[in-house]
Amino acid sequence: MEKIWNVTGNKPNVRANPEVILNEYAKQLSEDTNQTFRGLVTRVFREDTGDVTYALYIVTPGLKDYMYRLLEININNLLKYYPLELKLFAKDPKNHQFTVCDNEIQLRKKLVEFIKSPITSGILMHLQTLADIQKSYE
């Protein structure tokens, strides 16, 4: 039988894959907070548009694994990740932050900026306070 399956083209840079990048930051959340919080990355593919959305959730074990959706990456073309849209969710929708990243360097820079923002710090502090309250009733 003639060979018909071929893998051709340039191999994609796995390091530049937004899902891989987001998973790195999710893992670091657990390490940086001594497992007080965990990161979870989800992926949703919309067949009608071809868009992919990755979301980074903060999981709080002290609150029965309550999950807070912190970041979202929207990609319009899976064959070419960039440009992509990055969104930081705040408790109040008017405080949401949004940006477009044209490459891996911009994405990493903006992710760090969003993660270190006062919004994220406030969210983590609030979740920690709720977990402490929950723990005091156990």
pLDDT single digits (tens) 109-127: 999 999 999 999 999 999 9
Query: What's the whole-model pTM score?
Result: 0.86
Q: What's the CA angle centered on 80, arms 77 and 84, to 5 degrees? A: 65
> Which parts of the chain register pLDDT below 50?
none
Q: What's the CA angle centered on 58, arms 18 and 138, to 5 degrees? A: 160
- CA dist 22 → 14, 28, 45, 47, 108 (Å): 12, 10, 16, 22, 9
CA pair distance 57, 42, nearest whole angstrom? 8
Q: What is the mean pLDDT of the chain?
A: 90
The SS3 call for residue 92 is coil
